[in-house]
Amino acid sequence: MRKLNRQDLHDIVLGAAVLGTGGGGSLEEGLKIIDEALDDGFKFNLACPEEIPEDGYLGTSYGLGAVSPMDTGDFDKSGETAETRAMIAMEKYFNREFYGVIATELGGLNTAAALVTAARLGKPLIDADPTGRSVPCIQHTFYYLKGIPIYPITVVNDYGDEMVLPYTSSDERAELLVRAAAMASNDFVGVVDHPAKWRVLKEALFLNTISWCLEVGQLVREAQKKSQNYAYSLVEKNNGYILFEGIVSKTDREDKNGFNYGNIYIEGLGRFSGKTMQIWYQNENIMSWIDDDYYIMSPDLINIVNNGKNLPLLNPDAEIGMNVTVFGLKAFSAWRSEKGIEVLGPKFFNFDIEYKKIEDAVL
């Protein structure tokens, strides 16, 4: 069990935001809720996969909304977050104490919220997650690829409402139901799903990804100290790629059906001068083009750096005139399987094109 101090936690949340493909919630809000929990005296612990009891029950915790969880009423009158209350509701449903908490994705706020949920309940966060990035939909998980049931699901909002879904016919139905609850709750609910024993879940998780976030956060912090663009050292260490550099020339955005959709257009600089990159997102960066030709696509990771701040750029924060660097990383191998591409590849998002690996597409 690793005890996490403030610097560790800040590095984890920063690293998660960097790997969040433009989504996953606000880095600033994530750091804020971490600091509030620390100031309230809560302790943070990270459980490595090898030490988790085989029969220990775990729940996957997250906030769900179109833009950034917890923008609307962080706490109810009891002082608990919606995610924390969703975990308490799950334990009540099972009539048993759970061993720990799993973050649903790597993102500046959702990873932080899972850390806070675990700390406030005196539990460890598990050093693993089911996505290895941020993703738009509930069914975009390794759990889904492995056929692990998502139910029962607990859903809590900031009005004090609590819901339990003992059964859903599919993860797709769960996505519709939980997102509908969010839309009826000022666009935010806290959720816990995939409650199961470690022996079941461990085969459907990307292990040691929270430690990966910690390493990435440390790398970014060191680059910032040297006034160096962190994208370059990050892609070197993680076998990634610099995809584009330039100035944001246009953005558009629409909130629809509980999702945040939009495009970011970038006019190239340096070796990319004379070219235009377009990135389309559904909460997270999904598809890109160079001069109208398909370029890098999900499930591979497309991430943007705000060069002015040397920090990750959350999609809703993109503004005309920003100087940015776009970098990409290979998706975990499970996402590159036939089923993984079916679930998180371009055709899922209605792009009639075959998935092309980043290493085969990069300029």
- Specify the pLDDT at position 52: 98
- Specify the pLDDT at position 256: 87
Angle at the Cα of 252 (from 246 to 256), degrees rounded to 5?
A: 140
- Specify the pLDDT at position 66: 56
> DSSP readout, 164-222?
EES--S-HHHHHHHHHHHHHTTTT-EEEEEEEEEHHHHGGGSEETHHHHHHHHHHHHHH
- Specify the pLDDT at position 257: 82
Classify domain 2-207 by CATH number.
Answer: 3.40.1610.10
- Domain residue ranges in the chain: 2-207, 231-361
Sheet holding 162-165, edge to edge: 2-4, 44-47, 125-126, 100-103, 57-64, 189-197, 153-156, 162-165
Q: What is the DSSP letter of 105?
A: S
Is residue 182 within 8 Å of 258, Cβ to Cβ?
A: yes
- Specify the pLDDT at position 72: 39
- This prediction has a pTM of 0.94
For residue 166, cis peptide bond before it (omega within 30 degrees of 0) = no
Is residue 234 within 8 Å of 210, Cβ to Cβ?
A: no
- Specify the pLDDT at position 73: 44
Rounded to the nearest 10°, the torsion over CA 109, 110, 114, 116 is 20
- Specify the pLDDT at position 65: 75
- Specify the pLDDT at position 230: 98
Topology at the third CATH level for domain 231-361: CV3147-like (2.40.390)
Name the nearest CA neighbour of 329 among 205, 209, 201, 223: 209
Q: pLDDT (tens digit, 0 to 9) for every residue of the chain, 363 residues total?
A: 999 999 999 999 999 999 999 999 999 999 999 999 999 999 999 999 999 999 999 999 999 875 443 443 444 444 588 999 999 999 999 999 999 999 999 999 999 999 999 999 999 999 999 999 999 999 999 999 999 999 999 999 999 999 999 999 999 999 999 999 999 999 899 999 999 999 999 999 999 999 999 999 999 999 999 999 999 999 999 999 999 999 999 999 998 887 899 999 999 999 999 999 999 999 999 999 999 999 999 999 999 999 999 999 999 999 999 999 999 999 999 999 999 999 999 999 999 999 999 999 997
Q: Rounded to whole angstroms, how far apart are CA atoms 264 and 359?
A: 22
- Specify the pLDDT at position 258: 79
Residues 6+ apart with CB under 8 A from 136: 23, 259, 282, 283, 284, 286
